Amino acid sequence: MSNDDADDLIFKALGHRVRRRLLDLLKAEPRTTGHLCDLLPELDRCTVMQHLGVLEAAGLVIAERRGRERWNHLDALPIQAIHERWIGPYAAYAAAMLSKLKQQVEA
């Protein structure tokens, strides 16, 4: 899979509010699928599993089987890679432009 294909999967995964909410819940600690379902009572278990599948396909969630339980762990490395490629350079550019504007105003 190319980097662009991997990025597409990540952006698709981050594009839905339920999946972002799941990632927020996993940010604090790994959780079982059952616990995630309890925290999202408006969704049925099948829907939660489908969203977790999209997150897994994007590499944002790693699932671990422990007996009958499925533990879901956040993998933030793909988000960090997106930040390094897209957000960091644009933020640096914007900060440089603001600095330049400040210098021009003060001059």
Q: Is residue 40 part of a domain?
A: yes
Q: In whole angstroms, what is the distance from residue 23 CA to residue 77 CA?
A: 13
pLDDT score recorded for residue 19: 97
Predicted pLDDT of residue 69: 94
Tally of structural domains, the chain: 1
Spatial strand order in the sheet of 31-32: 31-32, 69-74, 61-66
pLDDT at 73: 97
Q: Does residue 81 lie in a domain region?
A: no
88 in a domain, yes or no? no
Per the domain annotation, does 55 fall within a domain?
Answer: yes
CATH number, domain of 36, equals: 1.10.10.10
pLDDT in tens, 28-85: 999 999 999 999 999 999 999 999 999 999 999 999 999 999 999 999 999 888 888 8
In a domain, 102, yes or no: no
Residues 62, 103: Cα–Cα separation, whole Å = 47
Q: Is the pLDDT confidence value at 89 over 80? A: no
Q: pLDDT tens digit string along 1-34?
A: 778 788 889 999 999 999 999 999 999 999 999 9
Of 93 and 16, which is predicted with more confidence?
Answer: 16
Whether residue 28 is contained in a domain is answered as yes
Domain interval for residue 35: 3-75
- 72: closest CA among 42, 27, 41, 6? 27
On whether residue 56 sits in a domain, the answer given is yes
> Does residue 91 form part of some domain?
no
pTM of the model: 0.79
